[in-house]
Amino acid sequence: MSWDKTGKDGSLLKWYDVMEAEKYEYTVGPAGEQFFNGLKQNKIIGSKCSKCGKIYIPARLYCEDCFVKINEYVEIKDEPYIDSFTTIYADDEGNKLSTPVYIALIRFPNTKGGILCYAEGNVRLGAKAKIVSFEWPIRVRVE
Ligand SMILES: [Zn+2]
């Protein structure tokens, strides 16, 4: 694999290459399967640690604090909020986009973790967001 790097001081570098993804098998694992199957049913699925009660989003297989395997999956019904976001004004080639694109990290109350998604509307920190599409990548709308 070779890496061609272009760019100059003060500008972002771009890497052009081909990922050899077809040579590897990647699975989302048992917890990821719960999460993505939930999305197909318009649900956010987290996993709940039986020892400390923490809920992880997306669902994961082990509690990072207790080091115990998680076997319980729960649907999250609370509205997410915008934890952080970035605004994209240009495409990969530097061409100005007609409408800026927001990429946001959404989190849910009383849970650990979060989900990166596309956001639209009056995107701002801490604002409540409504999931408008559960198709991956998720889309949220902020009023
Ligand atoms: Zn735990």
pLDDT tens readout for residues 84-123: 999 999 988 889 999 999 999 999 999 999 999 999 999 9
pLDDT tops 90 at residue 58: yes
Residue 23's pLDDT band (cuts 50, 70, 90): confident
Residues 6+ apart with CB under 8 A from 139: 117, 118, 119, 120, 131, 132, 133
User: Does 133 map to a domain?
Assistant: yes
Question: At which residue do the structure tokens 């849910």 appear?
Answer: 108
Residues 108 and 66 occupy one common structural domain: no
Ligand 1 centroid to 66 CA: how many Å? 4
CB 35 within 8 A of CB 59: yes
Last residue of a domain, one of 77, 92, 126: 77
- Higher local confidence (pLDDT), 23 or 40: 40
Structure tokens at 89: 């004004």
Amino acid at 82: I
Ligand 1 centroid to 131 CA: how many Å? 27
pLDDT above 90 covers what percent of the chain? 78
Residues 100 and 143 occupy one common structural domain: yes
Residues 36 and 86 occupy one common structural domain: no
Ligand 1 centroid to 68 CA: how many Å? 7
pLDDT of amino acid 27: 86
User: Does 11 map to a domain?
Assistant: no
Residue 12's pLDDT band (cuts 50, 70, 90): low
User: Does 112 map to a domain?
Assistant: yes
Ligand 1 centroid to 52 CA: how many Å? 4
Last residue of a domain, one of 51, 77, 103: 77
DSSP codes, 46-60: EEE-TTT--EEES--
Ligand 1 centroid to 76 CA: how many Å? 18
Omega prior to 30 cis, within 30 of 0: no
What range does the domain containing 47 cover?
20-77
List the CATH number of the domain containing 131.
2.40.50.140
pLDDT tops 80 at residue 22: no
Residues 122 and 96 occupy one common structural domain: yes
